[in-house]
């Protein structure tokens, strides 16, 4: 009877407790669970336990002392010494060592987009923040918590029809503890046409949005390039009815740029249209751009990852093979980078 009982107990124990043996092992792993107190410096933490991330009193501007981490995973500099030698006098001064403030590393962006438009700022290809421009099209935004090093920032705007501007990209070297101000960003106008094909001699409407009451230069590219200037209205909208009688039959491009108070933008995206024998209405530029493999309206790391999976593999899907040459190679990634939204 005892033998049977022992056997039953053993089997029952193995069946029921088996999974928890594994759990018991993993319980010890709680030490590595990110969060304050796990010894791993996670998001929003300056340090964790004895893991100080390489910081010290001296790296924070003190002359010496004991540096530690608080229970809230922030730097504890109370035992650091500032070593302000000599000096005497100076009344007051309680006993606590003076703590020099740690300057933030910020980048402040300011410029013009379109009235009340959404402006997105990308840091190294990924959206760092979005903001809304004022009615005067001006915007200001700040990105904090940066390291010392080279960054590539990019800015783009979306107009009232959700048409996106081209990316305005600039690489910058950021120094720790310094606030870098980038002003004078002038986002290029958006642009669209009302016809994909226009009968020669008829008008084609070229329109878009930019800063209010600003001078828009519209280029229509043919054998000879035509430049026409228009003023945008109070809402930043511009419209040019271009007479196509001066254009040859065939494919043409148009683009625009804006100038205001001595500041000038780069050219917008290029929009194509044909001059032919009939009029064919055009659709507004697609919100879903080439490179948006999963159709979520954005071209970002997800699309890049899907395309990267198919890089140099046989029979890639059409959504990743952007130039339709039967393979995913650098050209497809270049097209994706051009249409990137982050």
Closer to other proteins by CB, 237 or 299: give it.
299
> Taking the complex as a whole, how short is the minimal distance between the CB of residue 73 and other proteins, in angstroms?
12
DSSP H or E stretch at residue 243: strand 237-243
Residue 314 to residue 217: CA distance in whole angstroms: 46
| Rama region for 164: left / alpha / beta (φ>0; ψ in -120 to 50; rest) | beta
Asked whether 146 and 107 are in contact (CB, 8 A), the reply is yes
Selected range binding other proteins among 113-121, 228-236, 257-265, 315-323, rule: CB under 8 A:
315-323
Q: Is 3 helix (H, G, I), strand (E, B) or coil?
A: helix
Give the residue from 241, 266, 271 showing the smallest Cα distance to 253: 271
Binding residue (CB under 8 A) for other proteins from 108, 205, 282, 337: 337
Binding residue (CB under 8 A) for other proteins from 50, 85, 150, 283: 150
What is the DSSP secondary structure assignment for residue 328, as one 8-state letter? B
What is the total count of residues that contact other proteins (CB under 8 A)? 69
> Taking the complex as a whole, how short is the minimal distance between the CB of residue 241 and other proteins, in angstroms?
27
Selected range binding other proteins among 205-213, 238-246, 252-260, 333-341, rule: CB under 8 A:
333-341
Q: Which residues, 241 to 300, sit near other proteins by CB under 8 A?
A: 270, 290, 293-294
Binding residue (CB under 8 A) for other proteins from 78, 84, 138, 152: 152
What distances in angstroms separate CA 198 from CA 61, 116, 250, 274, 294, one per listed residue?
67, 33, 10, 6, 33
CA dihedral 234, 238, 243, 246 (to 10 degrees): 120
Selected range binding other proteins among 35-43, 79-87, 213-221, 224-232, rule: CB under 8 A:
35-43
Asked whether 112 and 187 are in contact (CB, 8 A), the reply is yes
Tokens of 175: 């120094």
Please enumerate, as own/partner, the contacts of 282-289 that have beta carbons within 8 Å and a separation of 24 or more.
282/192, 282/193, 282/194, 282/195, 282/196, 283/196, 284/161, 284/163, 284/192, 285/163, 285/192, 287/162, 287/163, 289/164, 289/339, 289/341
145 belongs to the binding site for other proteins (CB under 8 A): yes
* Beta-strand relationship, 179-186 and 106-112: parallel
Selected range binding other proteins among 93-101, 130-138, 207-215, 311-319, rule: CB under 8 A:
311-319
> Taking the complex as a whole, how short is the minimal distance between the CB of residue 335 and other proteins, in angstroms?
5
Q: Which residues, 80 to 139, sit near other proteins by CB under 8 A?
A: 122, 124-126
For the window 164-193, what string marks contact with other proteins as x by the rule CB under 8 A? ---xxx-x----------------------
> Taking the complex as a whole, how short is the minimal distance between the CB of residue 319 and other proteins, in angstroms?
6
> Taking the complex as a whole, how short is the minimal distance between the CB of residue 336 and other proteins, in angstroms?
7
Give the residue from 144, 154, 148 showing the smallest Cα distance to 107: 144
Closer to other proteins by CB, 25 or 96: give it.
25
Report the interface residues with other proteins, using CB under 8 A.
5, 8-9, 12, 16-17, 20, 23, 26-27, 29-30, 32-34, 40-43, 53-55, 59, 122, 124-126, 145-152, 154, 167-169, 171, 270, 290, 293-294, 301-302, 304-306, 308-311, 317, 319-320, 323, 330-340, 342
């Amino acid at each position: 009877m005892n033998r049977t009982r022992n056997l039953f107990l053993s089997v029952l124990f193995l069946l029921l407790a088996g999974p928890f043996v594994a759990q018991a092992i993993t319980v010890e792993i709680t030490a590595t669970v990110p969060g304050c107190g796990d010894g791993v410096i996670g998001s929003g933490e300056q340090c964790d336990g004895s893991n100080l991330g390489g910081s010290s009193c001296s790296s924070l501007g003190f002359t010496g002392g004991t540096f530690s981490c608080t229970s809230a995973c922030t730097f504890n500099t109370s035992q650091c010494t500032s070593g302000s030698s000599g000096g005497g006098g100076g009344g007051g001064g309680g006993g606590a060592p003076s703590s020099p403030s740690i300057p933030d590393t910020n980048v402040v962006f300011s410029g013009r987009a379109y009235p009340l438009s959404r402006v997105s700022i990308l840091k190294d290809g990924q959206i760092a923040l979005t903001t809304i421009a004022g009615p005067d099209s001006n915007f200001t935004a700040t990105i904090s918590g940066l390291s010392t090093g080279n960054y590539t920032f990019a800015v783009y705007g979306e107009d009232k029809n959700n048409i996106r501007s081209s990316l305005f990209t600039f690489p910058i070297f950021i120094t720790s503890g310094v606030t870098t101000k980038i002003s004078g960003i002038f986002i290029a106008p958006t642009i669209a046409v009302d016809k994909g094909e226009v009968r020669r001699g008829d008008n084609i409407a070229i329109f878009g949005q930019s800063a209010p009451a600003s001078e828009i230069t519209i280029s229509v590219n043919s054998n000879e390039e035509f430049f026409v200037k228009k003023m945008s209205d109070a809402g930043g909208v511009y419209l040019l009815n271009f007479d196509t009688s001066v254009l040859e039959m065939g494919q043409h491009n148009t683009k625009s740029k804006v100038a205001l108070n001595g500041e000038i933008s780069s050219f917008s995206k290029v929009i194509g249209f044909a001059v032919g024998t009939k009029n064919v209405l055009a659709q507004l530029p697609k919100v879903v751009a080439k490179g948006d493999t999963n159709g979520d309206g954005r071209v970002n790391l997800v699309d890049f990852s899907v395309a990267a999976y198919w890089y140099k593999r046989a029979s890639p899907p059409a959504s990743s093979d952007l130039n339709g040459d039967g393979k995913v190679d650098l050209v497809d990634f270049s097209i994706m980078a051009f249409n990137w939204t982050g």
